[in-house]
Copies of this chain bind each other. A is one copy, B any other.
Amino acid sequence: MSTERRSFRREPEERRREQLITAALDLMAEGGPKAATVRAITDRAGITPGLIRHYFSSKDELIRAAYRYSMERMTAQGAAAADAVAGDDPLAALAALVRSSLRPPVMEGERVRLWAGFLHMVHREPAMREIHEATYLGFRDEVQRRIARLPHVTGPDHARRLAIAVNAVIDGLWLEGGTLPGCFAGAEIEEIGLTAVSAILGVALPGSAGEV
């Protein structure tokens, strides 16, 4: 009983690479780094294990590409949220940034766990570390740029420290909201985020309560 070879279709290189990357990211988000084995990845991508090394020189290189891909996607989504605000009111833009960071699809358990799963590789491999720092600093710079335009901010150093604090609240709420979804009601985290950022900046962001 000679088992038949499975039929296949040739695909452009870029498409295959993306299939492999998204398969790896999905698996890592669902089951952690250990779930993203070569066989599981190629299974989900609809190909056979041997093909992985036709598009990436090793599994590690695929994982690196996947990390780069996921970070670029996240950055693009964040930037889009802020740019979507009509006009150039810095308060409205900051509020939009806070809101979009603290609700799906950004604030999601799988997203947080995916990020956490990469942390060790990020620390070890310089290439991934650079991506990590650039992404963090990129987001923070965007926050800082809008903060610098607020009337009562005294200078670049002041704006920088405000941005660090604002970024921290967002990150902390993102973390807690993502990992403990049952502990918060509805849009509670968004409201708390807006109110806390308002307090830190000493301004009233649209949508925040008068008091924290």
Interface residues of A (CB under 8 A from B): 31-34, 109, 112-113, 116-117, 119-124, 132-133, 136-137, 154, 158, 161-162, 164-165, 167-173, 175-176, 179-180, 183-184, 188-189, 192-193, 195-196, 199-202, 211-212
Contacts and interface: CB of A to CB of B under 8 A. Distances in A.
14 contacts: A32-B33, A33-B34, A113-B119, A116-B116, A116-B119, A133-B180, A158-B211, A162-B212, A165-B169, A165-B212, A168-B172, A169-B169, A169-B196, A171-B175
Given A32-B120, A112-B119, A176 B171 contact: yes
Given A113-B123, A165-B195, A196-B200, 8 more contacts: A31-B120, A32-B120, A33-B120, A116-B119, A119-B179, A122-B179, A168-B169, A168-B192
Given A117-B120, A119-B113, A183-B133, A196 B212 contact: no
B200 A212 contact: yes
A196 B120 CA distance: 29
B179 A165 contact: no
A116 B165 CA distance: 21
